[in-house]
Amino acid sequence: MSLTESKPDAAAKAASLSARSLAVLSVAARNDALTAMHDALLANKEPILAANARDMARATSASESGHLSQAVLKRLDLSRPGKYDDMLQGILDVRGLDDPVGKCDLRTLLDDGLELERVSCPIGVLLIIFEARPEVIANIAALAIKSGNAAILKGGKESSDSFETIAKVIGSALEKTQVPNAAIQLVKTRDVIDQLLGLDQYIDLVIPRGGNELVRYVKEHTKIPVLGHADGLCSVYLHRDADKDTAVRVVVDSKCDYPAACNAAETLLVHEAALTTILPAVAEALFAKGVSLRCDEKSMEALKKALSPTSAALVQGSTDKDYDTEFLDLIMAVKTVPGTTVDSTDDASLDMAVAHINTHGSKHTDCIVTSSDESAEKFMSSIDAAGVYWNASTRFADGMRYGFGTEVGISTNKIHSRGPVGLEGLTIYKYKLRGHGQTAGEYGEGSGKRRYKHQNLAI
Amino acid sequence: MSLTESKPDAAAKAASLSARSLAVLSVAARNDALTAMHDALLANKEPILAANARDMARATSASESGHLSQAVLKRLDLSRPGKYDDMLQGILDVRGLDDPVGKCDLRTLLDDGLELERVSCPIGVLLIIFEARPEVIANIAALAIKSGNAAILKGGKESSDSFETIAKVIGSALEKTQVPNAAIQLVKTRDVIDQLLGLDQYIDLVIPRGGNELVRYVKEHTKIPVLGHADGLCSVYLHRDADKDTAVRVVVDSKCDYPAACNAAETLLVHEAALTTILPAVAEALFAKGVSLRCDEKSMEALKKALSPTSAALVQGSTDKDYDTEFLDLIMAVKTVPGTTVDSTDDASLDMAVAHINTHGSKHTDCIVTSSDESAEKFMSSIDAAGVYWNASTRFADGMRYGFGTEVGISTNKIHSRGPVGLEGLTIYKYKLRGHGQTAGEYGEGSGKRRYKHQNLAI
């Protein structure tokens, strides 16, 4: 690992060359490197937290003078209870995962003595651009090394002291391992993002970790493929036969568990028949959490009638723009899906909900609350998103929750092929999640929290 | 299917909307559409060939006046023996393939009653831009429909009559099926490529089918992901322990089976110890096929000594540029890999060959000829390419040959993820092919030709 002060092209070229040797390192050697990283970060907790405190001091005064948001401040703080330990545990979790390199998923005898195999291998060189979270450096370095990819890490100015200190610690730890020195490059020079984004001869994939302004900027300024998502405009649709309790649990968790997250819900679609039977209870529960609702005419009218005058006063009218907005805050846009009260699955309404989400959503994660198998399956097949959920909070869209250990980010990309591309190369997967109203907030390490089972099932 | 005379944005929007219903069509309905396409193309062979003859007449005069290459003329001609039948058979082959949609490859119990699945689904809307080959329209329409993807097809001016006639035939055939009318859009208006490439809100993937100028142009002018490859700079490396007969067979087939193809070899790397033992026989065989060799100093010296004066006179000197050139012709660049004659696997030489290919190759398909398992495995692990071959012609890099029925193209892309991206999302596959000197030219439908077995093996 080297700390590059300047010359991003030299860093990228070196990373590209070292990627070849990293790609053929044994999994034992890659795991040893993760152990070394973990032990060094554990041993150097004190100087790292001291560096983080300096970043925090600068950020706090920037925040006080209104130049930095509270959210960034919170993300920057490595001293928050459990955060440092989580970072350390994350490295061990990644170490414990199966080797993703060298997996064969297709093997064909083309003729006697002529065998074809498809085997997984690293991508090459990743460029990861962060904003505030300093712990992401350790996570991403662990994921990159485990997967045999070289990585160029470019930190943000808010976390510069933390970044440099963590980088030095990881760097000297890796020097004693078989991971090539140039395989993890840390670029801390400012104003080099544009240069790095131009190095498509060396860099295979850019992963921006930050707000949507960063992601958009990266997408506009590079020809290198970008993995990630600019927006997380997730929706929850309450179908006419939604269970009320399930609806309340799913909507409240989707909106309130962590409103600034990309997998928080922004839009609530409500079947016309559910305006009076389900929406009022959902609205009361959201109001209790401090959520503002921006409603279309029909849903506003229904709520004004059903709620107490105090609650009814909190209902606001919506504009068209609200249905295309990622609020990242305790605000939710509510829209009525026209429908009948006739006892049927009401496919026409379902189609309208699907059409709204496919048009206004960001293909991230969308959820239906319904008691009907058939409606749920239709929704999950028709929605064009990376995650399509039935009776479960959109907040489950997360690598740790899916049992992947950790993640480099959540991608709304849709392509994934190399070599001769046949039918299989023209498809992408989606994650289908079927639940019974579970909320992500129920899960965690604390007492009274539920634990994930992450048990493999037969396919 | 509609034939759009103008307004590419309207075509793309319509395709995008219809993609939703195509995505949920049953495989039976999608297969029925392929049957209808096949039958209509069979019934209308006469008018289609007549239209193709008009294109050919124009192209022939353009070729005679030097405005069109012979290669394009050859690709345009649908009346060549077997070509029309191959096109028809291709549709039936795709129809016979397993449904690629709805395949589950991951299923996890997150908690009791909370199950996660990963299931394959269509990408959405494909934009396919062709140059000359008119039969590709039928192939791609079949692949798109079978995989549940909407497609916008933009034909080249050389094949405009063939394109329009085939399009009308396919269009009226599909009208009687459940495939939505707008799911396959044919845009024949000229000068709309730039407009189409700007429609990233509707189009998910661009697949350019043509020369590398077209592919480069597309890559430079769109933010939509592009599937394909600009270059096919494939190499064959003769290791010190290569079997002579195998080397001759593999190199001659890789270079001569179809020199204008992307999977033809352009560079021949030769271990220093093989310059005198193997290269002369390879060179004589290549000369017999009319190949010109552009050699570095050492290989030239070795050949001048070993060959007859007549043959030796055919050896040319190389320039650095030759090792970065996709000749697409009967020309091959030869480079010596320094090495020892000591009896060992000579890892240092292997590393140099790998470094050359990883630096100068196009990550398409590269081959090692060696008798050593160990060297072969090391080469296949270290080369960063979509196809890495051992003792087999680079010409095997083809969807039909891999047993995929047909292909939309060969991609040298390296990314492929959506949803939360963990370790698995940081890897891509490569195709490993292990043979015993087989050549693609041996395989075919004619008498005396070998047939592919395409038999699944246990993983």
| Contact list, A121 vs chain B (CB under 8 Å) | 381, 427-430
Q: Identify the pLDDT of residue B100.
A: 81
Choice between B71 and B247, residue whose per-residue pLDDT is larger: B247
CB atoms A20 and B354 under 8 Å: yes
Of the residues B97, B116, B434, the best mutation for testing chain A's interface (the one with the most A CB atoms within 10 Å of its CB) is B116
Q: Identify the pLDDT of residue B418.
A: 35
CB atoms A147 and B398 under 8 Å: no
- Dihedral of the CA atoms A295, A297, A302, A307 (nearest 10)? 50
- Other CB atoms within a 10 A radius of the CB of residue B148 amount to 28
Q: Identify the pLDDT of residue A419.
A: 35
Q: Identify the pLDDT of residue A62.
A: 85
Chain B nearest C-alpha distance from A201 (Å): 10
Contact present, A248 and A317 (Cβ < 8 Å):
no
Tally the C-alpha atoms within 13 A of residue A45's C-alpha that lie toward its C-beta.
13
pLDDT at B5 over 60: no
Q: Which residues, 6+ apart, have CB-to-CB distance to B37 below 8 Å?
A: B91, B138, B141, B142, B145, B170, B173, B174
pLDDT at B312 over 80: yes
pLDDT at B199 over 50: yes
Q: Which helix (H) or strand (E) holds A350?
A: helix A347-360
CB atoms B421 and A414 under 8 Å: no
Least confident of A48-62, B10-24, B444-458: B444-458
Of the residues B110, B118, B352, B356, the best mutation for testing chain A's interface (the one with the most A CB atoms within 10 Å of its CB) is B110
Most confident by average pLDDT, A57-66, A110-119, A325-334, B450-459: A325-334
Rounded to whole angstroms, how far apart are CA atoms A95 and A342?
Answer: 55
Most confident by average pLDDT, A38-52, A390-404, B17-31: A38-52
Rounded to whole angstroms, how far apart are CA atoms A66 and A102?
Answer: 50
Chain A nearest C-alpha distance from B116 (Å): 5
Q: Identify the pLDDT of residue B350.
A: 93
Chain A nearest C-alpha distance from B452 (Å): 6
Choice between B204 and A34, residue whose per-residue pLDDT is larger: A34
CB atoms A417 and B115 under 8 Å: no
CB atoms A148 and B398 under 8 Å: no
Q: Where would I find the beta strands (DSSP E) of A184-277?
A: 184-187, 205-209, 234-238, 265-271
Q: Identify the pLDDT of residue B258.
A: 87
Chain B nearest C-alpha distance from A384 (Å): 8
- B113: nearest CA in chain A? A435
CB atoms B146 and A423 under 8 Å: yes
Rounded to whole angstroms, how far apart are CA atoms B371 and B437?
Answer: 11
Residue A387 β-bridge partners: A365, A431
Mean per-residue pLDDT for A144-149?
87
Instruction: Indicate the pTM of the whole model.
Output: 0.84
Nearest to A427 among B100, B227, B355 (CB): B100
Q: Identify the pLDDT of residue B117.
A: 79
| Contact list, A205 vs chain B (CB under 8 Å) | 414-415
* Ramachandran angles phi, psi of A59, nearest 5°: -65, -35
- Other CB atoms within a 10 A radius of the CB of residue B348 amount to 12
Tally the C-alpha atoms within 13 A of residue A181's C-alpha that lie toward its C-beta.
5
CB atoms A414 and B101 under 8 Å: no
Q: Identify the pLDDT of residue B19.
A: 85
Per-residue pLDDT band at A54 (split at 50, 70, 90)? very high
Least confident of A282-291, B47-56, B343-352: B343-352
3-state class (DSSP) for residue B53:
helix
Residue A114: exposure state from Cβ atoms within 10 A (0-12, 13-18, ≥19): buried
Q: Are strands B104-111 and B2-4 parallel, antiparallel or unpaired?
A: unpaired
Sign of CA dihedral B100, B388, A109, B143: positive
pLDDT at A273 over 50: yes
Rounded to whole angstroms, how far apart are CA atoms B268 and B126?
Answer: 36
Choice between A285 and B21, residue whose per-residue pLDDT is larger: A285
pLDDT at B359 over 70: yes
CB atoms B426 and A147 under 8 Å: yes
- B424: nearest CA in chain A? A100
CB atoms B382 and A20 under 8 Å: yes
Rounded to whole angstroms, how far apart are CA atoms A56 and A35?
Answer: 28
One of 3.20.20.70, 3.30.2130.10, 3.40.309.10, 3.40.47.10 is the CATH number of B234-442, namely: 3.40.309.10
Per-residue pLDDT band at B283 (split at 50, 70, 90)? very high
| Contact list, B384 vs chain A (CB under 8 Å) | 19-20, 23, 124
CB atoms B120 and A428 under 8 Å: yes
Could you give the percent of chain A with pLDDT greater than 90? 34
Nearest to B428 among A126, A418, A428 (CB): A418
Size of interface A-B (CB pairs under 8 A): 367
Q: Identify the pLDDT of residue A139.
A: 81
Q: Identify the pLDDT of residue A459.
A: 52
| Contact list, A415 vs chain B (CB under 8 Å) | 123, 204-205, 225, 227, 413, 415-416
Rounded to whole angstroms, how far apart are CA atoms A177 and A182?
Answer: 12
- B112: nearest CA in chain A? A453
Most confident by average pLDDT, A18-27, B137-146, B271-280: B271-280
Contact present, A430 and B419 (Cβ < 8 Å):
yes
Nearest to B413 among A94, A410, A417 (CB): A417
Sign of CA dihedral B123, B125, B129, B133: positive
Tally the C-alpha atoms within 13 A of residue A402's C-alpha that lie toward its C-beta.
28
Show the tokens assigned to A440: 């992500």
Chain B nearest C-alpha distance from A358 (Å): 9
Q: Identify the pLDDT of residue A425.
A: 46
Q: Identify the pLDDT of residue B278.
A: 96
Per-residue pLDDT band at B423 (split at 50, 70, 90)? very low
Q: Identify the pLDDT of residue A154.
A: 86
Rounded to whole angstroms, how far apart are CA atoms B186 and A236?
Answer: 36
CB atoms A225 and B120 under 8 Å: no
For residue B354, CA distances in Å to A208, B320, B336 come to: 31, 17, 13
| Contact list, B390 vs chain A (CB under 8 Å) | none
Show the tokens assigned to B198: 């700007």
pLDDT digits (tens, 9 = 90+) for B164-192: 899 889 988 999 999 987 888 888 766 78
DSSP state of A114: E
Tally the C-alpha atoms within 13 A of residue A393's C-alpha that lie toward its C-beta.
27
- A354: nearest CA in chain B? B20
Rounded to whole angstroms, how far apart are CA atoms A390 and A11?
Answer: 46
Least confident of A21-35, B21-35, B73-87, B242-256: B73-87
Average of per-residue pLDDT values in chain A: 84
CATH 2.40.50.140 for domain B2-220? no
pLDDT at A103 over 60: yes
Q: Would you kindly state where each structural domain of chain B is located, as residue ranges?
A: 2-220, 234-442
pLDDT digits (tens, 9 = 90+) for A404-451: 667 777 776 666 443 344 335 444 434 445 555 565 555 566 788 777
Chain B nearest C-alpha distance from A39 (Å): 22
pLDDT at A308 over 60: yes
Show the tokens assigned to A451: 């634990």
Contact present, B162 and B51 (Cβ < 8 Å):
yes
Tally the C-alpha atoms within 13 A of residue A196's C-alpha that lie toward its C-beta.
35
3-state class (DSSP) for residue B367:
strand
Nearest to B119 among A121, A392, A430 (CB): A430
| Contact list, B416 vs chain A (CB under 8 Å) | 415-418, 428
Helix, strand, coil % (nearest 5) of chain A? Answer: 45, 20, 35
Alpha carbon of residue B239 to chain centroid: 26
Give the long-range contacts of residues B245-248, CB within 8 A, separation 24 or more.
Answer: B245/B437, B246/B369, B246/B391, B246/B436, B246/B437, B247/B274, B247/B278, B247/B281, B247/B282, B247/B369, B248/B281, B248/B282, B248/B285
Nearest to A427 among B104, B120, B443 (CB): B120
Rounded to whole angstroms, how far apart are CA atoms A133 and A218?
Answer: 18
* ipTM field: 0.82
| Contact list, A227 vs chain B (CB under 8 Å) | 415, 417, 421, 425
Chain B nearest C-alpha distance from A244 (Å): 18
| Contact list, B429 vs chain A (CB under 8 Å) | 105-106, 118-121, 418-419
Among A46, A1, A3, residue whose Cα is nearest residue A164: A3
pLDDT digits (tens, 9 = 90+) for B329-342: 999 999 999 987 66
CB atoms B426 and A408 under 8 Å: yes
| Contact list, B420 vs chain A (CB under 8 Å) | 397-399, 401-402, 404, 407, 409-411, 431
Rounded to whole angstroms, how far apart are CA atoms B364 and B388?
Answer: 9
Cα angle: A58, vertex A59, A65; to 5 degrees: 95
Among B69, B78, B274, B97, residue whose Cα is nearest residue B163: B78
CB atoms B419 and A398 under 8 Å: no
CB atoms A407 and B414 under 8 Å: no
Chain B nearest C-alpha distance from A49 (Å): 27
Mean per-residue pLDDT for A311-339?
93
pLDDT at B322 over 70: yes
- B111: nearest CA in chain A? A453
Nearest to B420 among A122, A223, A402 (CB): A402
Average of per-residue pLDDT values in chain B: 84
pLDDT at B211 over 90: no
